[in-house]
Amino acid sequence: MSEVKKVIIIGAGPSGSVAAALLQKKGYQAIVLERDNFPRFSIGESLLPQCMEFIEQAGLSKVVDQAGFQLKTGASFLHNQQFSSFCFSDKFSDGFDATFQVQRANFDLLLATEAQAKGATIHWQHEVIEADFSGARPKLSVKDEEGQSYQIEADFVLDASGFGRVLPRLLKLDIPSDFPVRQSLFTHLEDKIDCTKYDRNKIWIVVHPEIRDVWYWLIPFSNGRCSLGVVATPENLKELGDNHQQIFQKLIDQEPNLKALLKNAVFDTPINSLKGYSTNVKSLYGQGYALLGNAGEFLDPVFSSGVTIAMKSACLAVEQLDKQFKNESVSWQTGFAEPLQKGVDTFRAFVNAWYDGSLQDIIFYDKQQPNIKTMICSILAGYVWDEKNPYVKNSRARLKTLAELCCDD
């Protein structure tokens, strides 16, 4: 009998755990090397309905559904007096109508623990420091929790290291993202929202009253707390001072909708900052490895696409690996990189249109045709691989035409 194929996964975030669970399901041995000890904080808290499909494929739905996370049924956009709300149940594509808003510390631990329950091995506080793909089998050098180094070999390596970007760094795969550098300041707080019209089942995306490419997110959790963040250029932020706490407070004070909603909020957690997070690589795969989630490409937080893309990449990669291990014909280009890229490119068109203002014109247009709204809603729900949707197939041109129609009116 042939030996069970062994796959090393670098990182136990959503892409790593979904890949591990899927590999175990198919009878392979998943060994996850995770640098941190969970639970640990991570940004990326608002999920999209599309990712529920990937969670289901990995056999992780039950624990996620039962965890008590905040339900998410849509997204609301605000700009001064303009308000536009999308309900995922009104989307064009078939599939899940709802998802969750999650504290990632809990969510990531839950997925990882469930992957372990399915037989995956996770080595906590084991940091991958070197990689060698020159031999017949990939070999990684790892530093364990005691600071001791060891080497480990496998049949394949999936890099799910997120912003750790282990293989892009070690193999010099990084290329600059075509998005300008943006910075985000964010925190968790006790929101004490008492406005009866406020719907906790929706993420709020709020545009700054004067600077259209500065925007805020408000992501409520199920425990009376929320995630609050702002995205701007570093130059925008610099104009407001050097102290993150003060800059953050000034930006909240500048936005009347948020200021009113959070009038009783208790800001009890330091402000976090991330800058220049958009990334890209020369190739998403190579001899003996593939890059998942943020270890490959990361666009922008505005449409909460990160976890969905991360999980999709895990599903596609495991499909290819399964074929490869069965000695079936495999193309990592047409079976992994290209299909993944299709969805990423749809999001890319939407992100570009958001920052050039055209998508904001569309979203806040008050005479939107209902059928077009369902198609836009599908993208906001993460259904960016549904080629039946004209806004998937031809996103850039469609958005341009639609924005012109909205402005001409």
Ligand X SMILES: Cc1cc2nc3c(=O)[nH]c(=O)nc-3n(C[C@H](O)[C@H](O)[C@H](O)COP(=O)(O)OP(=O)(O)OC[C@H]3O[C@@H](n4cnc5c(N)ncnc54)[C@H](O)[C@@H]3O)c2cc1C
Q: Angle CA(2)–CA(134)–CA(34) in degrees, nearest 5? A: 75
Q: Which is nearer to ligand X, 193 or 274 (CB)?
A: 274
Q: Minimum distance from CB of 37 to ligand X (Å)?
A: 9
Q: Which of 99, 116, 257, 304 binds ligand X (CB under 6 A)?
A: 304
Q: Which is nearer to ligand X, 254 or 278 (CB)?
A: 278
Q: Which of 25, 39, 43, 105 binds ligand X (CB under 6 A)?
A: 43
Amino acid in position 143: K
Residue 356 has which token pair?
């050039």
Q: Which is nearer to ligand X, 348 or 398 (CB)?
A: 348
Q: Does 360 bind ligand X (CB under 6 A)?
A: no
> What pairs with residue 101 in β-bridges?
46, 70
Q: Does 11 bind ligand X (CB under 6 A)?
A: yes
Q: Which of 107, 204, 277, 325 binds ligand X (CB under 6 A)?
A: 277
Q: Which is nearer to ligand X, 296 or 335 (CB)?
A: 296
3 touches 95 (CB < 8 A): no
Q: Does 14 bind ligand X (CB under 6 A)?
A: yes
Sign of torsion over alpha carbons 108, 303, 366, 89: negative
Q: Which is nearer to ligand X, 166 or 349 (CB)?
A: 166
The contact mask relative to ligand X for 50-89 (x = CB under 6 A, - = no) is: ----------------------------------------
| Omega of the bond leading into 256 within 30 degrees of 0 (cis) | no
Q: Minimum distance from CB of 253 to ligand X (Å)?
A: 21
Q: Does 49 bind ligand X (CB under 6 A)?
A: no
Going by the DSSP 8-state scheme, the letter that residue 162 receives in this structure is G
Residue 137 has which token pair?
């089998």
What is the C-alpha to C-alpha distance for residues 73 and 238, in angstroms, rounded to an integer?
Answer: 36
What is the C-alpha to C-alpha distance for residues 91 and 78, in angstroms, rounded to an integer?
Answer: 20
Q: Which of 5, 9, 34, 378 binds ligand X (CB under 6 A)?
A: 34
Q: Which of 49, 74, 168, 301 binds ligand X (CB under 6 A)?
A: 301
Q: Does 184 bind ligand X (CB under 6 A)?
A: yes
Q: Which is nearer to ligand X, 345 or 361 (CB)?
A: 345
Residue 201, burial from CB neighbour count under 10 angstroms (0-12, 13-18, 19+): middle
> What pairs with residue 83 in β-bridges?
78
- How far is residue 73 from each of residues 87, 201, 303, 402, measured CA to CA in Å? 6, 6, 14, 25
Residues that bind ligand X (CB under 6 A): 10-16, 33-36, 42-47, 127-128, 160-164, 166, 184, 229, 274, 277, 292-295, 298, 301, 304, 306-308, 310
